[in-house]
Structure 1
Amino acid sequence: MGVKNRARLSYKLGYAARNPHRIVPYARRLARDAWLRARARDHVSFYRAVMRSDTARSPYGAVGAASRAHWERIGRLQFDYLTGHGLTPGDRMLEIGCGNLRAGRLFIRYLEPGHYYGVDISPDILLAAQDTIVRDGLQDRLPHLTLVRDLRLDFLPEAYFTVVHAHSVFSHSPIQVIDECLANVGRVLAPGGFFDFTFNRTEGEEHNVLREDFYYRTDTLITLAAKHGLTAHLMDDWERTGHRQSKLRVTHAHPDT
C-alpha cells in the first residue's frame, strides 16, 4: 500500500487545489491543534484534548465516522472480520481505544457476560460509550469500561486476555506510544492469544499529519514487536475489505509464554 507523504508541502498544495472546500476546515483544525498542543505535556494529554473537542461536536465524528450509518458499518466490519478470524464467545477480550463502542457494542453482545474489557484515554468518549450501552440494552452483559492514562496496562491481570484488539489507535500514535503498548501487552496476553491492531501503512517515508495521523512501514512495527518477544504478521485479507488502514496480528514468539 503506497501512501504519499501527506506532510509534504507539495502534497498539501496539490490536495488543496483538488479540494478547495477543505481548506478552511483544515486551517481551523491546524489552529485548534496548535492551541491544544501548546497546553499538553505529552502526546496522550494532547490527544485526550483532541477527543474532548471532537466528542463535543459529535461522538460519531470523534471516532472517525461521517455519520451514524458509517459508524455502524465500520463497527460491523471489525466485528465480522474478527469473528471470522478466531474470536469466539468464550474469549476474554481487551479492546484498547474502545471509543464509544463502535464495534464494542457488537463484541459485548457476542461474548459471554463479563468477557469484554474496554479501555480508552478519553473520559469524554467513555461517557459516550456508557450511552451506547444504555441505548443498546447491554447492561446485563456486564462490560468493563476503564479510563487509562497510558498503555502500560499494569493494572490488568497477567496472561488473562485471549484476544486484544485496537482499531484506529496506532494510526494516531507516535512510535513511543506504540512501543509502550507492545512492551506491555505480552504480559496481559494469554498463551495462544493474539493482538490485532490497525495502522496507517506506507512503503515510503514515515511521517505524520498534524501529530494526529501517523504513517509507518510494516517492517518498522514488526521489528518493534520482535524487540518485545512478540511475532507480528500482516493480515493481507483485511485490506481487501476496503478499509484504508492495514492490520497486523501479534502473538507471543513462544506460544507457551
Structure 2
Amino acid sequence: MHLKSAGLSVNRASIAHKIRYAARNPRRIAPYARRTARDAWLRLKHRDHVAYYRAVMASDTSRDPDAAVGSASHARWLALGEMQFAYLKDHGLRAEHRMLDIGCGNLRAGWRFIDHLAPGGYYGIDISPDILISAKKTLVTYKLQDKLPHLTLTRDLTFDFLPDAHFDVVHAHSVFSHSPLSVIEECLGHVGRILAPGGFFDFTFDRTEGHEHHVLREDFYYRTETLAALAERHGLRARFQEDWEKLPHGQSKLRVSAG
C-alpha cells in the first residue's frame, strides 16, 4: 500500500481544479498566466518536447538556476540535494561505484555525489547547456575539480555514447515529472544496457491515482502501475520505494533493476 495518498486523485489539468486553486491562491494567478503565455510561445517555436523543454530551462536558468531545477530558495536547493544524497547513500550508493545522473541540472545533489565518489566516478547529463554552465560554477564553489566529474550535454536518453554494463547506479530526480511517456520509454528501453551487473536505476515521478495528465506539458502525472509495466516491458523489474514517501519532497520513487 502506498503512503501519502491525499490529493493523488486530483487532475490538475481540469478546469474545475484550476478554478478552485485560483480561488484559494489569487496571488498565483498572474504568475500562472505569464507562464502559460511563455509556454504557448515556446511550444509554437519548438514542436519537439526536448527542444521545447530546453528552451524552458534556458528561460528559467537566466533568472535563477536554483529555481530552474525546482528550488524556491538556495536553502531549499541545499536541503533537497542533501535529501537525495542521504537517501541514495543509505540505499546502496558506495564510494567505489560509477554513477550516471540523468538531468543533473546545476548539481543540486550532484556535488554531494561527486564528493562522495572516487575521481571520475560521476557522470552527469542534461539537455540544457545553460544549466550545465551553472553546474560548472557549482563545481568551483565546492572545490571539486580534482574529482574530474563528467558533465555532458545530450538530446535524448538512448545513452548511445556510453559503454555497456558500466554504471552501478543510475539516478534521475525530477526528470520523468517533466517528460511525456515517449521519453520515459526511450530511457527505460536503453538503461538496461548500461547498467552493470547488480546495478539499479532510481527515478522520481509525480504520482497520481486518478487520470494521468499534464499541466502545460511541463508537469506530468503518472500512475505507478503505468511506469512499472513500462519497465517490465523492457525486461526490468520495478519496485516502489515506500520509505521515500515519508520524506518532504512531493514526488514518488521507483527503483528499477534487471529482471
Band of TM-score, shorter chain: over 0.9
Normalised by the length of structure 2, the TM-score is 0.97
Q: Does 1:160 align with 2:166?
A: yes
Q: SS in structure 2 opposite 1:232?
A: strand
Residue equivalent to 1:103: 109
CA contact (8 A) 1:3 1:201 kept: no
Q: 2:100 aligns with which of 76, 94, 104?
A: 94
Q: Over the residues paired in the alignment, what is the CA RMSD in angstroms? A: 0.5
Q: Does 1:221 align with 2:227?
A: yes
Q: SS in structure 2 opposite 1:251?
A: strand
Shift of 1:191: 1.0
Residue equivalent to 2:179: 173
Shift of 1:239: 0.5
Q: SS in structure 2 opposite 1:118?
A: strand
Q: 2:40 aligns with which of 15, 23, 34?
A: 34
Percent sequence identity is 66
Shift of 1:243: 1.6
Shift of 1:242: 2.1
CA contact (8 A) 1:116 1:143 kept: yes
Residue equivalent to 1:247: 253
Q: Does 1:64 align with 2:84?
A: no
Q: SS in structure 1 opposite 2:54?
A: helix
Unaligned runs of 5+ residues in structure 1 are none
Q: 1:231 aligns with which of 211, 216, 237?
A: 237
What is the letter of the counterpart of residue 124 of structure 1? D
Deviations 1:1-36 (A, max 9, x none): 324000000000000000000000000000000000
Tell me how many residue pairs correspond in the alignment.
Answer: 253
Distance in 1 of aligned mates of 2:251 and 2:14: 20
Q: 1:24 aligns with which of 19, 25, 30?
A: 30
4+ residue runs of structure 1 moved beyond 6 angstroms? none
Unaligned runs of 5+ residues in structure 2 are none
Q: Does 1:52 align with 2:54?
A: no
Distance in 2 of aligned mates of 1:88 and 1:66: 30
What is the letter of the counterpart of residue 13 of structure 1? I
